[in-house]
Amino acid sequence: MEIGIREKSFSVGEAAQRVGLTTYTLRWYEQEGLVAPVGRDSAGRRRYTEADVNWLFLLLRLRRTGMPVRDMRRYAELARQGDRTLGARRALFEAHRARVLARMAELTEDLKALDHKIDVYRQAEEELG
Protein backbone atom coordinates (compact mmCIF):
# COMPACT_ATOMS: atom_id res chain seq x y z
CA MET A 1 0.00 0.00 0.00
CA GLU A 2 1.50 3.31 -1.03
CA ILE A 3 0.94 6.38 1.14
CA GLY A 4 -0.67 9.31 -0.63
CA ILE A 5 1.47 12.40 -1.11
CA ARG A 6 -0.95 14.69 0.72
CA GLU A 7 -1.45 12.43 3.74
CA LYS A 8 0.83 13.34 6.65
CA SER A 9 3.10 10.45 7.40
CA PHE A 10 6.10 9.65 9.54
CA SER A 11 9.28 7.68 9.05
CA VAL A 12 10.05 4.76 11.36
CA GLY A 13 12.24 7.02 13.48
CA GLU A 14 9.66 9.81 13.64
CA ALA A 15 6.86 7.41 14.54
CA ALA A 16 9.00 5.76 17.21
CA GLN A 17 9.90 9.13 18.69
CA ARG A 18 6.27 10.31 18.72
CA VAL A 19 5.14 7.30 20.76
CA GLY A 20 8.25 7.00 22.91
CA LEU A 21 9.64 3.73 21.53
CA THR A 22 12.95 2.84 20.00
CA THR A 23 12.92 1.99 16.30
CA TYR A 24 13.98 -1.52 17.33
CA THR A 25 10.92 -1.89 19.58
CA LEU A 26 8.64 -0.47 16.91
CA ARG A 27 9.92 -3.02 14.42
CA TRP A 28 9.41 -5.74 17.03
CA TYR A 29 5.76 -4.66 17.37
CA GLU A 30 5.46 -5.09 13.59
CA GLN A 31 7.13 -8.51 13.63
CA GLU A 32 4.81 -9.66 16.42
CA GLY A 33 1.78 -8.78 14.30
CA LEU A 34 0.68 -6.03 16.67
CA VAL A 35 0.87 -3.44 13.91
CA ALA A 36 -0.67 -3.98 10.50
CA PRO A 37 1.75 -3.64 7.62
CA VAL A 38 2.39 0.06 7.22
CA GLY A 39 2.28 1.94 3.95
CA ARG A 40 5.32 2.74 1.88
CA ASP A 41 6.41 5.82 0.04
CA SER A 42 7.38 5.82 -3.63
CA ALA A 43 10.92 4.78 -2.65
CA GLY A 44 9.60 1.80 -0.68
CA ARG A 45 10.35 3.22 2.75
CA ARG A 46 7.83 2.56 5.49
CA ARG A 47 5.64 5.53 6.36
CA TYR A 48 3.35 5.64 9.37
CA THR A 49 0.09 7.56 9.21
CA GLU A 50 -1.59 9.37 12.07
CA ALA A 51 -3.91 6.34 12.38
CA ASP A 52 -0.85 4.06 12.71
CA VAL A 53 0.58 6.30 15.44
CA ASN A 54 -2.77 6.34 17.29
CA TRP A 55 -2.85 2.53 17.09
CA LEU A 56 0.64 2.44 18.62
CA PHE A 57 -0.49 4.71 21.46
CA LEU A 58 -3.35 2.29 22.19
CA LEU A 59 -0.95 -0.67 22.19
CA LEU A 60 1.36 1.15 24.57
CA ARG A 61 -1.52 1.89 26.91
CA LEU A 62 -2.61 -1.75 26.83
CA ARG A 63 0.95 -2.85 27.55
CA ARG A 64 1.31 -0.33 30.36
CA THR A 65 -1.83 -1.76 31.97
CA GLY A 66 -0.21 -5.18 31.87
CA MET A 67 -2.03 -6.75 28.94
CA PRO A 68 -0.02 -9.78 27.79
CA VAL A 69 1.40 -9.59 24.27
CA ARG A 70 -0.66 -12.65 23.28
CA ASP A 71 -3.85 -10.75 24.18
CA MET A 72 -2.63 -7.67 22.34
CA ARG A 73 -1.92 -9.85 19.31
CA ARG A 74 -5.40 -11.37 19.56
CA TYR A 75 -6.92 -7.89 19.77
CA ALA A 76 -4.98 -6.77 16.69
CA GLU A 77 -6.16 -9.86 14.78
CA LEU A 78 -9.77 -9.22 15.80
CA ALA A 79 -9.59 -5.54 14.90
CA ARG A 80 -8.30 -6.39 11.42
CA GLN A 81 -11.34 -8.65 10.90
CA GLY A 82 -13.71 -5.71 11.23
CA ASP A 83 -17.03 -5.08 12.92
CA ARG A 84 -18.05 -8.72 13.11
CA THR A 85 -15.58 -9.07 16.00
CA LEU A 86 -16.86 -6.17 18.10
CA GLY A 87 -18.26 -8.51 20.78
CA ALA A 88 -15.04 -10.49 21.01
CA ARG A 89 -12.99 -7.30 21.30
CA ARG A 90 -15.29 -5.97 24.02
CA ALA A 91 -15.03 -9.26 25.91
CA LEU A 92 -11.23 -9.16 25.65
CA PHE A 93 -11.19 -5.63 27.07
CA GLU A 94 -13.69 -6.51 29.82
CA ALA A 95 -11.53 -9.42 30.96
CA HIS A 96 -8.45 -7.21 30.93
CA ARG A 97 -10.31 -4.47 32.79
CA ALA A 98 -11.15 -6.95 35.55
CA ARG A 99 -7.44 -7.85 35.84
CA VAL A 100 -6.50 -4.16 35.96
CA LEU A 101 -9.05 -3.48 38.71
CA ALA A 102 -7.75 -6.44 40.72
CA ARG A 103 -4.20 -5.17 40.32
CA MET A 104 -5.29 -1.68 41.37
CA ALA A 105 -6.83 -3.15 44.53
CA GLU A 106 -3.56 -4.95 45.27
CA LEU A 107 -1.59 -1.76 44.70
CA THR A 108 -3.94 0.17 46.98
CA GLU A 109 -3.23 -2.33 49.76
CA ASP A 110 0.50 -2.16 49.04
CA LEU A 111 0.37 1.64 49.18
CA LYS A 112 -1.37 1.48 52.55
CA ALA A 113 1.47 -0.69 53.85
CA LEU A 114 4.05 1.80 52.55
CA ASP A 115 2.17 4.72 54.08
CA HIS A 116 2.07 2.89 57.41
CA LYS A 117 5.82 2.27 57.37
CA ILE A 118 6.49 5.91 56.43
CA ASP A 119 4.34 7.04 59.35
CA VAL A 120 6.15 4.66 61.72
CA TYR A 121 9.56 5.99 60.65
CA ARG A 122 8.38 9.61 60.75
CA GLN A 123 7.11 9.11 64.32
CA ALA A 124 10.33 7.39 65.36
CA GLU A 125 12.38 10.27 63.94
CA GLU A 126 10.24 12.83 65.78
CA GLU A 127 10.67 10.93 69.05
CA LEU A 128 14.44 10.92 68.59
CA GLY A 129 14.10 14.59 67.81
For domain 9-128, the CATH class is mainly alpha
CA dist 38 and 45 (Å) reads: 10
Cα dihedral: 74, 46, 51, 58 (round 10): 40
22-75 per-position pLDDT tens digit: 999 999 999 999 999 899 988 999 999 999 999 999 999 999 999 999 999 999
DSSP letter at 10 equals: E
Express as a percent the part of the chain with pLDDT over 70.
Answer: 95
User: Where do the domains of the chain lie?
Assistant: 9-128
Residue range 69-94: mean pLDDT, rounded:
97
Q: According to the model, what pLDDT value does residue 8 have? A: 87
pTM score of the predicted model: 0.82
DSSP letter at 30 equals: H
